[in-house]
Structure 1
Amino acid sequence: MSLVHRLGLPAAAVIVLLLTACSQPQSAAPKTLTTVGVYKVMPQPYTVTETLPGRTRAYMSSDVRPQVDGIIQKRLFTEGADVAAGDVLYQIDPARYEAAVSQAKAQLQQAQAAVKSAAPLARRYQHLAAIDAISKQDRDNAVAQLAQDRADVANARANLQTARINLGYTRIKAPISGRIGASAVTPGALVTANQTNALTTINQLDPIYIDIQQSVSQYLTLKHAVATGALETDKNNAAPVTVSPEGSDTTLKGKLEFSGAEVAPDTGAVMLRAIVPNPDHTLLPGMYVRATLTQGIDVKSILVPQQGVQRDAAGRPTALVVGADGKVARHKLKIASATDDNRWRVTAGLATGDRVLVQGTDKVNVGDKVKAVPVTIDADGHVHDLTPAGDSAHVQSPAA
């Protein structure tokens, strides 16, 4: 006998019970949440800087040219070496200039001898004219001859001085101190006074100028920073500046002059000039550099790791943020600038306490519920997971 008959249940009731049991929904397995790394946004002080491109220019530059004609006998310097003002660079054959000095000396001696002869004669004629022994005309002629001979002495002395100066010019000297360049002539070359082509060039490298070209808007921003006190200047209207050569970590400190700002007529850009001490000659004329100015301190700056910022189809910056409900939302950002430690300075779109995704952004979509794991950022912009004790921490480098 079947179980249904034993229980005495009608067949219809049995069918209902079986259908009810089959219609009971089975409990679904719990869905696993995607684990993502988040960086909690907290305001912090940040020194705001402005980096401008520039190019070095020698503080002083002098082309060396001869002042007398002649044949170069010697070159007395090493190309590329440092020279001091007054150092002899070239020797021109001095023979004819030494002869000119000797000739001028002889002419001076001749004029002085004429004065020695004319002076006593003039005195005697004055005495004789006083007693009417000679005519006054003879006396006047003697006095005039003495004056002429004395003028000849002065002229001969000037000619001697000129001859000595020209002799001195045969030793071509450095007009300024600095780094000397290549020589354009060799011994045996004929040079002429004030010729067009320079024999060599000397550049003074310490200090050195930095010419900084910027747009009008950048210049006005800097002027506003000066006017508001965000960018401090000294009594000469100069602001401190840090200069680094392109592709180098070397830094030198100097001052940026605002008083000499000029507008280039061909480009419309504003040209500023910085002056930087350069004792080791790290900077050379013509080098491209970066000039960094401090514009103030943002005491409540929002800094976000570069890994946490993406770009939408239009190129606008965005960030994925995990809300209090654990769901992912996309925030549009406004970015001021990048920092030296691989972070973005955000001025709009994020608030204190927001949790920005920096790991696992490619595993989730907007609206997904996730498991947020806090991470930390080191000084180089690397992301470090906060893992339990005994586990190895994963390090992620900043995005390129």
Structure 2
Amino acid sequence: MIRLKILVPTLLSVALASCSDSGGGAGTGQASQAQERPPTPVSVVSMEKGQFPITRVLPGRATAFRTAEIRPRVTGSIREIAFKEGSEVKEGDLLFQIEDDTYQAALAEARASVAKAEASVPSAEANLARYERLVNSGATQIDYENARVTFLQAQADVAQAKAALKTAEINLDLTKIRAPFDGITSISNVAIGNIVTANQAEALTTLRQLDPIYIDLTESSTNLLELRTAFESGRLSGDPRNAEISLTLEDGTVYPQKGKLDMAEMAVSESTGTYQIRALFDNPNDVILPGMYVRATVTLGEENGYLIPQRAATRNARGELSAKFVTADNKVETRIFPTSQVSGNNWLVAEGVADGDRLVVDGFQWIGDGATVAPVDSTVDDDGLVVQTQQGGSASEQAPQQQ
């Protein structure tokens, strides 16, 4: 019994010692593995100074180049609708024909009035000549003056009749309502047999010219002041009046035609703090329709600096641009850029970067300042995708494997 009491504590001591040795070995192994973990691979782009375009992406709406609400200028019944609704018409094409019987009759009456007035002129002229010969020798001065007045009145009657004839001709011609310019018609608001009145409030149809077409853009007054300062200082080169404008349509497709600046509103909205810019685009296939929402990329000029892809940059709490770089000893550091401009899918900065600096464009999400990394030379294509130029997996693919 005494021997059993001594044996049990001895076995417990041996077991505890064995557990202690096993735990220590595991901890040492983990520390060794942590020390041997390789640096995190990150994709980097070498910085190179150059002259790059300054761009602005602005929201906009399409508006017709010309718009006309077609209304009658004479009263009558609609006899014919000569166009297909929603179709293209040419300048001068007949749109509506108003019943013209009464206007034909008025024209005939006006022509008769002209003939009647012209018939009285010769006799009045002969009578005036006769009294002119007989004045002071059988005719008084009063007789001569009366003859003269009669002749002038006959001439005035002719002029009045001719003016009435011209009015009748115009009214008859106005029974044919024609397109004032090339365009696309809307739905007709009248039918054959409807009575219309001169200068009525309701339009018969609306005509819109869509080629070319206007794009109304909105820009903030703050950006306007910044750009004006950049141009005046010479930092930004180019003429903003010759700015190249490209469009992205509602479905994300890029419109093939380039536009040009047409005008800029010289006033700022008191409610929104923005001002209006109007651009002009060719629209030969009527792809852009009035009311469509578009995004316009306006190239304002060029500026010297370094491009930082938007995918590689973030904004801090103060709104300042920040990006991560790899130092000469392969350590990560964050740089802040208080001033930056938009250049396509990139930010353009002029300070805080030098030629040859290595910008982290992929893998920076999992690293902090001071971390040692393994830089992989890469480029960023036009779609913002990282393309590596040396052997090795992308940082975004390798980082999850290290978790």
TM-score calculated relative to the size of structure 1: 0.76
SS in 2 for 1:145: helix
- For 1:383, the equivalent position in structure 2 comes to 386
Query: Which of 153, 158, 179 is matched with 1:174 structurally?
Result: 179
2:332 counterpart of 1:324: no
Deviations 1:160-199 (A, max 9, x none): 1111111111011222333332222121111101111111
- For 1:248, the equivalent position in structure 2 comes to 253
SS in 2 for 1:252: coil
Distance (whole Å) between structure 2 residues aligned to residue 314 and residue 223 of structure 1: 24
Q: Counterpart of 1:241 in structure 2: which amino acid?
A: E
Indicate how the Cα distance of structure 1 residues 183 and 228 shifts in structure 2: closer, same or farther if over 3 A, else same.
farther
Distance (whole Å) between structure 1 residues aligned to residue 186 and residue 248 of structure 2: 22
Preserved CA contact (<8 Å) 1:301 1:346: yes
Q: Counterpart of 2:93 in structure 1: which amino acid?
A: D
Kindly state the Cα deviation for residue 386 of structure 1 after the two structures are TM-superposed.
Answer: 5.1
Kindly state the Cα deviation for residue 325 of structure 1 after the two structures are TM-superposed.
Answer: 3.4
Distance (whole Å) between structure 1 residues aligned to residue 349 and residue 371 of structure 2: 25
Where do 5+ consecutive residues of structure 1 fail to align? 1-24
Query: Which of 56, 64, 75 is matched with 2:81 structurally?
Result: 75
Identity %: 36
Query: Which of 36, 56, 62 is matched with 2:68 structurally?
Result: 62
Where do 5+ consecutive residues of structure 2 fail to align? 1-27, 398-403
Query: Which of 217, 221, 232 is matched with 2:238 structurally?
Result: 232
Distance (whole Å) between structure 2 residues aligned to residue 142 and residue 185 of structure 1: 56
Query: Which of 46, 50, 64 is matched with 2:56 structurally?
Result: 50
Kindly state the Cα deviation for residue 28 of structure 1 after the two structures are TM-superposed.
Answer: 5.7
2:92 counterpart of 1:86: yes
Indicate how the Cα distance of structure 1 residues 364 and 58 shifts in structure 2: closer, same or farther if over 3 A, else same.
closer
SS in 2 for 1:262: coil
Query: Which of 159, 162, 170 is matched with 1:157 structurally?
Result: 162
Deviations 1:114-135 (A, max 9, x none): 2344343444444455641x55
- For 1:189, the equivalent position in structure 2 comes to 194
Preserved CA contact (<8 Å) 2:43 2:395: no
Aligned length: 364
Distance (whole Å) between structure 2 residues aligned to residue 370 and residue 194 of structure 1: 78
Preserved CA contact (<8 Å) 2:324 2:334: yes
Higher mean C-alpha deviation, range 359-368 or range 184-193: 359-368
- For 2:340, the equivalent position in structure 1 comes to 336
2:105 counterpart of 1:99: yes
Measured on the aligned residues, the alpha-carbon RMSD in Å equals: 3.5
2:204 counterpart of 1:199: yes
SS in 2 for 1:263: coil
- For 2:44, the equivalent position in structure 1 comes to 39
Preserved CA contact (<8 Å) 2:362 2:395: no
Preserved CA contact (<8 Å) 1:309 1:319: yes
Distance (whole Å) between structure 1 residues aligned to residue 245 and residue 336 of structure 2: 34
Kindly state the Cα deviation for residue 364 of structure 1 after the two structures are TM-superposed.
Answer: 4.6
Deviations 1:229-259 (A, max 9, x none): 53533xxx82323131433301433332566
Alignment of 1:299-378 (within 5 A): 299-304=304-309, 306=311, 308-309=312-313, 318-332=322-336, 334=338, 336=340, 340=344, 342-346=345-349, 350-361=353-364, 364-378=367-381
TM-score calculated relative to the size of structure 2: 0.76
Preserved CA contact (<8 Å) 1:33 1:369: no
Distance (whole Å) between structure 2 residues aligned to residue 200 and residue 310 of structure 1: 53
Distance (whole Å) between structure 2 residues aligned to residue 102 and residue 190 of structure 1: 24
- For 1:223, the equivalent position in structure 2 comes to 228
Q: Counterpart of 1:336 in structure 2: which amino acid?
A: S
